Amino acid sequence: MTELPPAGAWAEDLLDGLNPPQRAAVEYRGPALLVVAGAGSGKTRVLTHRIAGLIRSREAWPSQILAITFTNKAAREMRERVEQLLGGVADGMWISTFHSACVRILRREAERFGFVSSFTIYDSADSRALLKRIIKDREADAYGLTPGGVAAVISKAKNELMDAESFARNANSADPRQALTAEIFSEYSRELNRAHAMDFDDLIAQTVHLFRAFPEVAAVYQRRFRHILVDEYQDTNHAQYALIRELTRPVEPEALARAGIEPRGGETDAQGRIPPASLTVVGDSDQSIYAFRGADIRNIVEFERDFPGASVVLLEQNYRSTQNILSAANAVIENNFDRPQKKLWTAVAGGELITGYTGYSQHDEAQFVADEIERLHGEGFDYRDIAVFYRTNAQTRALEEIFIRSAVPYRVLGGTKFYERAEVKDVLAYLIAVANPFDEYSLRRILNTPKRGIGPATEAQLAAYAAGEGISLREALRHAARLGLGPKLTAAIAGLSALLDEASELAFGKQLPSGGAVPPRPPVEVLQHLLEGSDYLAQLRASRDPQDEARAENVEELVSVARDFGRANPEGTLVDFLTEVSLVAAADELDDESGSVALMTLHTAKGLEFRAVFLTGLEEGLLPHQMSAGEPGGLAEERRLFYVGITRARERLYLTLAMTRAQYGDVDVALPSRFLQEIPAELIAWRQSPAEANGRGGTSSRALNASSRQLGRSPGFARSAVSGGPGGAGSVAFRPEAEPASGGMRDSLQRFREARAGGASWPNTVGSGIRDNGELELAAGDRVRHEDYGEGRVAAVTGVGSKRIAHVDFDGVGRKKLLVKIAPISRI
């Protein structure tokens, strides 16, 4: 800490420029504060100023602050902003995510529950791989149990602080699937314990269990953290809520005694207790989008009941978006009933209208986005100021294809994550095998990667030997010579074992007999030693498989990640590096310097803001997603997701959709999202409305010409829709029929159409029926009649199945290309 200004004088500049409720939140002193912060209402500002105020006024040392954020990036930013306000480095402040904070505590206390402090953190893919093996061993797949399904059940249980035992107690043993799930759960837990490993949910749950089992451990943290601040409180689950409750308990004298803590003067109250920490939570129930992950909206709704004496501050003034964007957001969210009344407003009126666009295909939509990004760029928007959001990761494909073609610089956040790639996992497995010798799975993974002739048979022999001797697999490797294997094999095993031992010496240092010590080397050196000793990278480079080149690049990328880590954390150990790598979130990858457009899911977008935002794929079945239809509250959560997306935009908002969407290689007709209708029509300027894209609404010819131009440049569409056809797809014209759809539509869409059958002039609507010509067989020479173009002769049919394109020479309007499945045509 650098010098502090005199106490009392702190307030002035920290309160400067804050509105009254923001001020109140910064100045509040008391047991508990709930800040209901609408989107863009300056809650980060409130949090950072509040922390800085506490420190500057000397009400708290930095080390007494615990601030929980949703992502590591948010944590980093918050730390920077606090330090900026304080004018110096604030050491000892804990600003981190729930998971990072818990790992820190758990590593410190690991031995109390029998783990090494370098325990492994399993990500969801690791959990699933382990579950898959257990399910296969037990032939539980015969009961329809899938790794993903069981993982979800276990995750849910852990978020409710249930362990395998209590899960088994609550399971209905008459139901074989539940009984089996309980068995799998307990074996899964056993295996994690054996490997000294925890999954994501364990990190939180075990910390809670630790605090409950060891009050003297809890006392240390309860005493230390005097001010606890939690951001995005609406997305906390039960385990996280329980953790906060544990941390905000008063410390009883007995616990102090057991912990051997001698309270300082003024630290305790009349009963000799240390009073509970002051708690500040910030959240917005309208932005709760993680119910599927166990987030419990009641945590925020019932805050005042949970923490008696709590104050509530409402932040409703938005400093981010234009009035038009806010009006749209308000109009949408108002459709969620059963929410506390709250309305965002801004002092800045007007702004540009929201732009709408309906593409003929997802590629047409993507092309519009790409063109519009270039236009914005020409207008002075930096690429980094622009973001494209979508509901599902699968939607990136079309966008990426077009962006590459159009030379739009972009980066995809999340999705197929870097750390989930096989080669990256391989290399990490080497590091984990070094850090945690009990982690058999990592060791098994690298046993024969790269190939050294240690196949499943040898692996089984090693495992059997380890089991027989009661030693770890890692130890068994050191005794390779005793297994009576061939000389080549024995040498390979001994070589790997020696390599790991050398790396371990590098990672942890070494005591010398002389009494001196060799200090540990940074993680990047450990990594490089392993890569050289294992020949892993060299073999990838030497491979003639072109994909291996990309894999080698990824491995090199990991090396540079390790190098960067070393620069940022000169004291960082191998375990620190592995922890950081395990806990990166999608939004953490966002690099503001990169100068490229950000592509991400709506979930990842939470907490971020951009000058211009594209919300894509606004179609029924995608947003709201069809999977959400069956879940209670699913529709409301989808609407909040839409709301979150809208409110990320500062100046420009684009709402786009496509009339057809290819899924699993099949083209489906899409309907505009019902949420689009919730935005007042006068706020949206449709560049091409759903009605126009449909051929309805009187401007169809113009719309179609536009589409022809766009589609002609759309290589993705050309590839997927008219395989091999030169020059792309050309215009794909279709329009809905007046008669009812001939089947194939999903139930939800059916209901949606019926629900809106009354409203006629809404620009977002599609006609009341979608044609499905699925079975219509056409051949060159056939005469057809089209509703708009009249009669014509089929020149050729290209494509297959639902993507068949009829090239028709119309008597009146010339050559047109039509998507047979949905074009309003009939053979005559």
Residues annotated as catalytic (active site), given as ranges: 43-44, 231-232, 287, 648
Q: Which residues contact 471 (CB under 8 A, 6 or more apart)?
A: none
Nearest to 418 by CA among 554, 311, 244, 604: 554
Task: Specify the residue, 124 or 594, whose C-beta has the smaller distance to DNA.
Answer: 124
* Nearest approach, Cβ of residue 694 and DNA (Å): 24
CB atoms within 10 A of CB 294: 19
Question: If DSSP codes are grouped into helix, strand and coil, which group holds residue 792?
Answer: strand
Q: Is 199 helix (H, G, I), strand (E, B) or coil?
A: strand
Q: For residues 584 and 78, what is the distance between their CA atoms, to the nearest angstrom?
A: 17
Look at residues 611, 714, 631 and name the one whose alpha carbon lies nearest to residue 379.
611
Q: How far apart are CA 424 and CA 437, in angstroms?
A: 19
Cα–Cα nearest to 560, from 517, 604, 527, 608: 527
SS3 759: coil
d(CA 598, CA 29): 40
Q: How far apart are CA 508 and CA 447, in angstroms?
A: 22
Q: How far is the CB of 493 from DNA (least distance, A)?
A: 12
**Tokens 């005559």 sit on residue:** 828
Sequence-ordered alpha helix ranges (H) in 92-199: 98-109, 124-137, 147-159, 164-170, 176-194
Provide, rounded to whole angstroms, the least separation between the CB of residue 441 and DNA: 14
Q: Cβ 411 to DNA, closest distance in Å?
A: 14
For the bound state, the minimum distance from the C-beta of residue 408 to DNA, rounded and expressed in Å, comes to 20
Q: DSSP of 239-285, one letter per residue?
A: HHHHHHHHHTSPBPHHHHHHHT--PPTTTS-TTSPBPPPEEEEEE-G
Please list the helix, strand and coil fractions of the chain in percent, rounded to the nearest 5, in that order.
Answer: 50, 15, 35
Which helix (H) or strand (E) is 493 found in, with range? helix 487-508
CB of 308 to DNA, least distance (A): 30
**Smallest gap from residue 641 Cβ to DNA (A):** 7
Closest CA relative to residue 31, chosen from 224, 231, 249, 208: 249
Q: Which CB, 434 or 587, lies closer to DNA?
A: 587
What's the min distance (Å) between Cβ of 649 and DNA?
19
Q: E strands, 502-573, where?
A: 510-511, 517-518
CA dist., res. 181 & res. 148, Å (int): 12
Characterise 509 by phi-psi region: left (phi > 0), alpha (psi -120 to 50), beta (else): left
Adjacency order of strands within the sheet including 814-819: 814-819, 805-810, 790-798, 783-786, 825-827
What distance in Å separates the CA atoms of residue 403 and residue 363, rounded to the nearest whole number?
A: 10
Residues forming the site for DNA (CB under 7 A) = 70-71, 97-99, 123-124, 146, 148, 155, 200-201, 289, 292-293, 391-394, 414, 448, 451, 453-458, 583, 585-587, 600-601, 603-604, 625, 627-628, 631, 662-665, 719-720, 723
Give the angle 805-807-809 at the CA atoms, nearest 5°.
Answer: 155
